[in-house]
């Protein structure tokens, strides 16, 4: 399904863009390995798909359907941005939600 590939590719491209941007703006002692792990792990938010039937259906909108993809979780993710050590995890999650939301508009 081409939509699936676009979805996965857009997530990966975004992770790459954030990564390069962070390398650009941060200082030399920036732990890029840890930040990369956090960014990649942010996609684990999709674990809540396991609660839905079917587990993966690209024609449906993930936002507000899955617990971790709900708007009421958004403030928690936003606050997480201010915990410097883990900010990349929450940045990745917010980007993930925005990309999932684009799928809802198509």
Binding region for Zn ion (CB under 5 A): 46, 62, 100
| Sequence-ordered strand ranges (E) for 1-106 | none
CB of 16 to Zn ion, least distance (A): 18
CB of 23 to Zn ion, least distance (A): 25
CB of 34 to Zn ion, least distance (A): 23
Q: Which is nearer to Zn ion, 36 or 62 (CB)?
A: 62
- Alpha helices, H only, 26-86: 32-41, 74-80
How far is 60 from 52, CA to CA, in rounded Å?
Answer: 11
């Amino acid at each position: 399904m081409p939509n699936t590939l676009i979805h996965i590719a857009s997530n990966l491209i975004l992770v790459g863009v954030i990564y390069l941007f962070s390398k650009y703006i941060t200082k030399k002692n920036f732990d890029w390995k840890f930040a990369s792990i956090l960014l990649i792990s942010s996609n684990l938010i999709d674990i809540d798909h396991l609660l839905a039937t079917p587990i993966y259906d690209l024609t449906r909108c993930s936002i507000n359907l899955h617990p971790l993809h709900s708007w009421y979780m958004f403030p928690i993710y936003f606050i997480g941005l201010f915990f410097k050590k883990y900010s990349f995890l929450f940045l990745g999650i917010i980007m993930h939600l925005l990309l999932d939301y684009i799928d809802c508009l198509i």
